[in-house]
Amino acid sequence: MVGQIGKRQNMLNPQNTFYSVKRFIGSKMTDLDAEFTKMPYQVRADENSNILLECPAMNRTFRPEEISAQVLRRLAENAEKHIGQTVDKAVITVPAYFNDSQRQATQDAGKIAGLEVLRIINEPTAASLAYGLDKNTNEVILVFDLGGGTFDVSILDVGDGIFEVLSTSGDTRLGGDNFDKLMIDYLLNEFTKKTDVDLSTDPTSLQRVVGAAEKAKIDLSTLVQTTVKLPFLMEGTQHLEEVITREKFEEICGDLISRCRIPVETALKDANLSKDQINQVVLVGGSTRIPAIQSLIKDVLSTEPNQSVNPDEVVAIGAAIQAGILSGEVKDILLLDVTPLSLGVETLGGIFSPMIQRNTTIPTKTTETFSTAMDNQPSVEIKIFQGEREFAKDNKSLGVFTLSGIEPARRGVPQIEVTFDIDVNGVLSVTAQDKGTGKQQNITISGASNLDQNEIDKMVSDAEQFAETDKEKSSEVALQNQVDMLCYQLEKKAELLDLTEELQEKVTNAITSCREILQSQDLTNLAPEYEKLQQIYSEVLGQNKTNENV
């Protein structure tokens, strides 16, 4: 199950609920810090350091591409229902910072979902498409995208139907989830201070705190104060009630808020612009609704941000416009994107020689001539890297291939022409040619994902198979959610009303036994217990009426 229903499931079953897999797609375990891979679900690597997500409930592992495919499939199905037509092609957006392998893996996810991926575009580019469509004048736009897990800043030159990305920057570990985490820690700590009870030891209580923390954060975007109220924690024995003011929230999350300043400044520097040269600031991502974030933007850029398009939808709207361009329905827009990181080869002494500088507009192609390092060298190894560091080893390795059959010659004599070619999707292919013999070798970077067609085919059929089990599972989960919801509602009602002791006891018992079943994951008795719960709910409502009549 995907979406809200999945998010609710997360409350009860954290080890088997995957979220934020975007942070793993197309990366190898060796690319990531250990801290980055700490999730409620288990993340491990296979023998090639490819990332696997462990699903104990199904006793199998998933590649991040497969989970993304499930999300894409669901989005396509939702769209199908809405427009009444089959959806088999897609434009997918990715963070501007995604490197080549992450883009490739995203494309694979689309294939697994049975979609033909027409184009991968950068999220800020999509956002500015959504904003810039009707503008004729030339404008420099800064896109500030603070979502759930990542933060991206991009500066674009938009005008006369052309969108050119001038620079990109970001923080791949900053998003709404971090704010939630700090709020959760705060609530847990305050609770322990007051009661000496550690709620984090009980998964159900913890998940309720997690949900309440995000809700409080969201409330504080519109309210100056909110109360977190969680009765009947720790199997009904504990009640949490905590008032949080917006000021307190800003104090708790102060460091996160100020971290947002750095990528903005880096992006300005990379684009060689001062803040006065930014004509518009566009907000993207749910977390830009946080008032302190909006104040920070005003403070750093001295501009009132533009919020005329809903920050949750703006990227999707841009992708739809791109799809319109590709299908010929939207005319007169030319889209220019850039490479987020420099691409090049390793040369003598392990030095990284960039062939394509970061922020170069794509598609692009460049050729340079290299030679041998030793006399009579029969072959050269072309090692391709991506990054900004001086030494190749400090950058990300994208691939390697060998050009052999070079005729014996003194070192420095053979001429090896190396060509880097990036297509419209940002996918790189590298060719090496020996000018002497005309021999040629090339490689399309299949990246960290390394999925071959067989693997993709298998994943496609797996995905189809899951569609079936998903349907079965989803009715079960729907019942779980209903029970969970009714427990909450009943609890709230009971709190408000002055119930007889007898009825209060019934309520507590019914809620406790339902929660026990939910937690145990053995759902055999859930349906009859739900019925009982419904009956008691009516009784409570009945007593309410009697009270009102008195």
What is the binding site for Mg ion (CB under 5 A)? Answer: 147
Do the strands 162-171 and 364-370 form a parallel or antiparallel pair, or are they unpaired? unpaired
What whole-number distance in Å separates Cα of residue 311 and Cα of residue 303? Answer: 17
CB of residue 175 to Mg ion, shortest distance in Å: 8
Among Mg ion, ligand ATP, none, partner that 436 touches (CB below 5 to 8 angstroms by kind): none
Q: Which residue from 179, 255, 178 is spatially nearest to 216, judged by alpha carbons?
A: 179
What whole-number distance in Å separates Cα of residue 68 and Cα of residue 74? Answer: 10
Buried b (16+ CB within 10 A) or exposed e, 90-129: bbbbbbbbbbbbbbbbbbbbbbbbbbebbbbbbbbbbbbb
- Of the two residues 123 and 484, which places its CB atom closer to ligand ATP in the complex? 123
Which residue is closest to ligand ATP by CB? Answer: 176
What whole-number distance in Å separates Cα of residue 207 and Cα of residue 203? Answer: 6
What whole-number distance in Å separates Cα of residue 362 and Cα of residue 337? Answer: 5
Among Mg ion, ligand ATP, none, partner that 110 touches (CB below 5 to 8 angstroms by kind): none
* Residue from 290, 382, 403, 483 in contact with ligand ATP (CB under 6 A): 290
- Which window, 43-51, 146-154, 434-442, 462-470, contacts ligand ATP (CB under 6 A)? 146-154
Per-residue x/- track, 155-194, ligand ATP (CB under 6 A) = --------------------xxx-----------------
Longest dimension (CA), the chain: 106
* Residue from 10, 221, 303, 513 in contact with ligand ATP (CB under 6 A): 221
Q: Which residue from 362, 368, 322, 369 is spatially nearest to 341, judged by alpha carbons?
A: 362
Among ligand ATP, Mg ion, none, partner that 149 touches (CB below 5 to 8 angstroms by kind): ligand ATP
If binding is defined by CB under 6 A, does position 147 make contact with ligand ATP?
A: yes
* Residue from 6, 124, 132, 285 in contact with ligand ATP (CB under 6 A): 285
**Whole-angstrom Cα Rg for the chain:** 27
The DSSP 8-state label assigned to residue 50 in this structure reads: B
Partnered with residue 344 across adjacent β-strands are 354, 385
Can you tell me whether residue 318 is helix, strand or coil? helix
- Of the two residues 263 and 414, which places its CB atom closer to Mg ion in the complex? 263
- Of the two residues 289 and 506, which places its CB atom closer to ligand ATP in the complex? 289
* Residue from 74, 111, 289, 506 in contact with ligand ATP (CB under 6 A): 289
CB of residue 248 to ligand ATP, shortest distance in Å: 15
- Which window, 142-150, 159-167, 224-232, 265-273, contacts ligand ATP (CB under 6 A)? 142-150
Size of the residue set binding ligand ATP (CB under 6 A): 18
Helix, strand counts (H, E) of the chain = 15, 21
- Of the two residues 174 and 398, which places its CB atom closer to ligand ATP in the complex? 174
Can you tell me whether residue 399 is helix, strand or coil? strand
CB of residue 185 to ligand ATP, shortest distance in Å: 16
* Residue from 190, 198, 214, 516 in contact with ligand ATP (CB under 6 A): 214
Judge contact between 113 and 463, C-beta under 8 A: yes
* Residue from 107, 150, 154, 395 in contact with ligand ATP (CB under 6 A): 150
Judge contact between 399 and 406, C-beta under 8 A: no
- Of the two residues 141 and 494, which places its CB atom closer to Mg ion in the complex? 141
The DSSP 8-state label assigned to residue 310 in this structure reads: -
List phi, psi (to 5°) of 144: -110, 105
CB of residue 148 to ligand ATP, shortest distance in Å: 4
Write down the residue that tokens 């309720």 correspond to.
208
- Of the two residues 13 and 154, which places its CB atom closer to Mg ion in the complex? 154
Which residue is closest to Mg ion by CB? Answer: 147
If binding is defined by CB under 6 A, does position 218 make contact with ligand ATP?
A: yes
- Of the two residues 124 and 147, which places its CB atom closer to Mg ion in the complex? 147
Judge contact between 340 and 99, C-beta under 8 A: yes
Partnered with residue 83 across adjacent β-strands are none
How many residues belong to the chain? 550
List phi, psi (to 5°) of 300: -75, -35
If binding is defined by CB under 6 A, does position 287 make contact with ligand ATP?
A: yes
If binding is defined by CB under 6 A, does position 149 make contact with ligand ATP?
A: yes
Neighbours of 311 (CB within 10 A): 21
- Of the two residues 312 and 476, which places its CB atom closer to ligand ATP in the complex? 312
Q: Which residue from 239, 244, 124, 235 is spatially nearest to 180, judged by alpha carbons?
A: 244
What whole-number distance in Å separates Cα of residue 297 and Cα of residue 306? Answer: 11
Question: Which H or E element spans position 459?
Answer: helix 453-496
If binding is defined by CB under 6 A, does position 313 make contact with ligand ATP?
A: no
- Of the two residues 221 and 508, which places its CB atom closer to ligand ATP in the complex? 221
If binding is defined by CB under 6 A, does position 26 make contact with ligand ATP?
A: no
Tokens of 73: 């499939």
Single-letter residue type at 331: K
- Which window, 190-198, 216-224, 407-415, 479-487, contacts ligand ATP (CB under 6 A)? 216-224
- Which window, 28-36, 233-241, 243-251, 284-292, contacts ligand ATP (CB under 6 A)? 284-292
- Of the two residues 312 and 495, which places its CB atom closer to ligand ATP in the complex? 312
- Which window, 136-144, 285-293, 328-336, 518-526, contacts ligand ATP (CB under 6 A)? 285-293
- Which window, 64-72, 242-250, 279-287, 392-400, contacts ligand ATP (CB under 6 A)? 279-287
Rounded to 5 degrees, what angle do the CA atoms 317, 323, 329 make?
105
- Which window, 83-91, 213-221, 364-372, 508-516, contacts ligand ATP (CB under 6 A)? 213-221
The set of residues, in sequence order, having a beta carbon less than 8 Å from that of 143 and lying 6+ positions away, is: 124, 127, 128, 152, 153, 154, 155, 156, 282, 284
Among ligand ATP, Mg ion, none, partner that 22 touches (CB below 5 to 8 angstroms by kind): ligand ATP
* Residue from 217, 246, 396, 506 in contact with ligand ATP (CB under 6 A): 217
Contacts with ligand ATP by CB under 6 A lie at 22, 147-150, 175-177, 214, 217-218, 221, 285-287, 289-290, 312
